[in-house]
Amino acid sequence: MSSSISNSAITAVHQVDEHRDDGASKLGMWLFLFTELILFGGLFLVYSIYRLMNPEAFAAGSSHLDVSIGAINTIVLITSSATVAISITAIQLKRKKLAINLLLVTILAAAIFMVNKYFEWGHKFELGLFPGGDAFNVLEGGEKLFYVLYYFMTGLHGLHVIIGAALIGWVAWEVKVGKQTHDNFAFLENAGLYWHLVDLIWIFLFPLMYLIA
């Protein structure tokens, strides 16, 4: 009787494995990331064109950004990309606890990034440098345009950070309960790809927004 149950369980596992298509899953993620690259690539193009049209105004707007916070956030995201990559290696080596801890560190890095962004935006709001604010209303057109693009592009990126952190949290839970294992970690890989995209976008945003003066 027990032998029959064991054979049924093994058969069920094989059936699950037969229907699992990790290649298709990864291809789907790459196609999704491609659409994201088109979105942000278009925004970078728009930003670059308007910057060429208003070089002095964009430089003036950029001078009010906090380069230190931007640099810290860059280091934080680069580090978090490393922890995600190492977590994939850890799960392959059957080091489940290490993989979970690395994913939690990644989530912590996302939280640090967003807290820094909160204080940075908060300071701008205190100064009235936001659409509709007193200081914003007296700026010339080119500088207003810079801040509109700044809030939209960094805000959109921040939304991706939040989504990425939630995704990684979900993956960490799946690792904990055994849904992601050394021979079945496609979801972890896809989450890692998404997080690398978040990192890559910021690597372009930081110099464009903060270092153009």
User: What digits encode the pLDDT tens for the residues 29-86?
Assistant: 889 999 999 999 999 999 999 999 999 999 999 988 999 999 999 999 999 999 999 9
Question: Comparing C-alpha atoms, which of 141, 142, 147, 116 is closest to residue 129?
Answer: 147
Provide the H-helix boundaries in 20-66: 22-53, 55-62
pLDDT digits (tens, 9 = 90+) for 96-144: 999 999 999 999 999 999 999 999 999 999 999 988 889 889 888 899 9
Q: How far apart are CA 125 and CA 130, in angstroms?
A: 6
Helix (H, G, I), strand (E, B) or coil at 130: coil
Q: What is the pTM of this model?
A: 0.87
- CATH topology for the 24-210 domain: Four Helix Bundle (Hemerythrin (Met), subunit A) (1.20.120)
pLDDT digits (tens, 9 = 90+) for 152-202: 999 999 999 999 999 999 999 999 999 999 888 899 999 999 999 999 999
Map out the domains of the chain as residue ranges. Answer: 24-210
